[in-house]
Amino acid sequence: MQPVDYTTLVAVCHELRSRWLPARCEQVIQRDRHTICMALRTLEQRGWLTISWHPQAARLHLGAAPPRQPDTFTFSQQLKHQLSGLALSRIDFLSDWERAIDLQFAQRPSDPAQWHLYVEVMGKYSNVLLTTAQQDVVTAAHQVSEQQSSLRPISTGDRYRHPPAIVGTLPQLDESLQSWQARVSLVPGKLWKMLLKAYSGLSSALAKQLVSAAGLATDASTDSLTAADWQRLYAQWQAWLQALETETFQPGWWQSGYTVLGIPPCEPAELQPLLETYYRDRLNQQAFAQLSHRLSQKLKALLSKLQQKAAGFRQRLAQSTEADRYRAQADLLMAHLQQWQPGMQTMTLADFETGEPTAIALNPEKNAVQNAQALYKKHQKLRRTRDAVMPLLTDVEAEISYLEQVESALMQVPTYESPEDLAALEEIRDELIQQGYLSDPYQSARKPEATPSFHRFQTPGGHELLIGRNNNQNDQLTFKLATDYDLWLHTQEIPGAHVLLRLNAGEVPSDQDLAYAASFAAYFSRARQSDQVPVVYTEPKHVYKPKGARPGMVIYKQERVLWGQPQQAKAVLEGEADRVLAAI
């Protein structure tokens, strides 16, 4: 993930000063453990300032409004109490080349600052602190004890101390080409790494951008450059320092990250939305990967345990099938008591129904009646076992079916592509928490119910096709959104998503539309790798949720069956992805 460097911070602060000062602080909301959002209002506009001390994505920029959810963090409550209604009057750097910013708040824009909000963008040491005008720390995003850092402990009531001064040589606009080249080329190595070692104040992303802008390979070595190469690189170096001096920036997308210097090839973009989009997507990708791994491992462990349990129940049921044989042997023995002789270990008697000889094992220490009674007891015991195990096996199989349905929903979201993908995974996590399969470590209030982000497609005939991303969306699709005119589809006896083909009153779907819908139902199921998958469809009024059923589990009737072609749906999706990439 590309860190916010000094150059980016200068660009952000310049834009904030020119467009958002002075501004009144109306609200402070903490959206997660590392991010607060501050509502600012000027005479012309209102926006949300995002301030984050995330160890990999510490940043400061304008962003989207935070989601509406309970704010239970103490830090934001303290900021809200002290800063609400005050004017953000100044935004200053603590010193040149230092990624520490002082946001000053006063009763009026022209008054002296009453509060200082220090934003320190320093990787894993990032922090946000609120101090009084006398520099006393009132609250901090996270406090640092003396055991953690003897150099700079941070706690409420202490006097605020600036971060340690930058060690190393700082870039100078008036440095000559000869001096600059000698410093960078002192030790042979990769050019961008030598820039970082020779000077402080650069990030690895910026160093690579400067090398690329000079027309050099990113992995070029210092001892392979010609005099012309050094001249071009020095020109880019000077252009960068000039941009910092004049605060003239050209933000845009560059390779897999962003730039504020307009390094070609660069797709121009507005700075604040660019930073919002970049860090939102990267953080979502991280959260998505971690949550997906956690859920898949949990489901795999649960299913393995339940399948072993079901196998044990089936084995006991198989043993209980011997119950009828023991009763038949006991009946035979009681019918032929006169043939018993003391000390007999077996008796061979003709079966009542087939007439075939049946050998009956006997206990020589018991008489015929006692042996028959022992066989009757075995019969009763095995029959009781069967009666007790059958409902247990039914419950375990129902639980396996439910978890396979959840696993199928998880398989439909293999990679992160949009915020809706992360939201779908979070809904699966919340569902498993509600069902008791996962614990909620923070015991936090659940997010308010949002509008479901169904998969949406259009059939060849122009009808809308909706597909649930998880069990929660499946239930909403089937029991809240569906009308009497729609058609409901699902793979036959295979875990998968609920699919709804939207129709108007009196409309009848064509065979092509039905085949299209069936193929997507097959693709968004556990059988997506197959060539043909049976799919049932019926009217939503014929779909029911049994009492006490888990989310997404339904029964249906009056269904009809057709065959879905999941590979055809896959080809459609891949074609759409290719068109999107071509458009980009």
Residues 462 and 576 in one domain: yes
Average pLDDT over residues 73-78: 94
Residues 190 and 99 in one domain: no
CATH number at residue 134: 2.30.310.10
User: What's the pLDDT score for residue 447?
Assistant: 54
**Stretch among 77-86, 303-312, 334-343, 536-545 having the lowest mean pLDDT:** 334-343
Kindly state whether residue 429 falls inside one of the protein's structural domains: no
Residues 195 and 264 in one domain: yes
Kindly state whether residue 475 falls inside one of the protein's structural domains: yes
Spatial separation of the C-alpha atoms in residues 253 and 262, rounded to whole Å: 9
Residue 404 pLDDT level (bands cut at 50, 70, 90): very high
Kindly state whether residue 115 falls inside one of the protein's structural domains: yes
**pLDDT tens string 276-289:** 999 999 999 999 99
What does pTM read for this prediction? 0.79
Kindly state whether residue 187 falls inside one of the protein's structural domains: yes
* DSSP calls for 525-579: BTTTTSS-EEEEEE-GGGEE--TTPPTT--EE-S-EEEEE-HHHHHHHHHHHHHH
Which residue pairs, CB below 8 angstroms and at least 24 apart, start in 98-107? 98/6, 98/162, 98/163, 98/166, 99/4, 99/5, 99/6, 99/9, 100/162, 100/163, 101/9, 101/13, 101/60, 105/25
Spatial separation of the C-alpha atoms in residues 60 and 227, rounded to whole Å: 39
Kindly state whether residue 313 falls inside one of the protein's structural domains: no
**pLDDT tens string 240-278:** 999 999 999 999 999 889 999 998 888 999 999 999 999
Residues 129 and 184 in one domain: no
**pLDDT tens string 333-376:** 898 888 888 888 888 888 888 888 888 889 998 998 999 899 88
Pairwise pLDDT comparison (81 vs 264), residue with the higher score: 81
Residues 123 and 187 in one domain: no
Residues 188 and 135 in one domain: no
Q: Which domain holds residue 469?
A: 455-583
Kindly state whether residue 57 falls inside one of the protein's structural domains: yes
Residue 584 pLDDT level (bands cut at 50, 70, 90): very low
Kindly state whether residue 433 falls inside one of the protein's structural domains: no
Nearest to 191 by CA among 175, 209, 174: 209
Residue 157 falls in which region: left (phi positive, over 0), alpha (psi -120 to 50) or beta:
left
Residues 214 and 136 in one domain: no
Quote the number of domains for the chain: 3
Last residue of a domain, one of 269, 292, 320: 269
Residues 112 and 187 in one domain: no
Average pLDDT over residues 200-212: 94
CATH number at residue 192: 1.10.8
Residue 388 pLDDT level (bands cut at 50, 70, 90): confident
Kindly state whether residue 298 falls inside one of the protein's structural domains: no
Last residue of a domain, one of 269, 297, 331: 269
Q: Which distant-in-sequence residues (6+ apart) come within 8 Å of 513 by Cβ?
A: 459, 460, 461, 463, 501
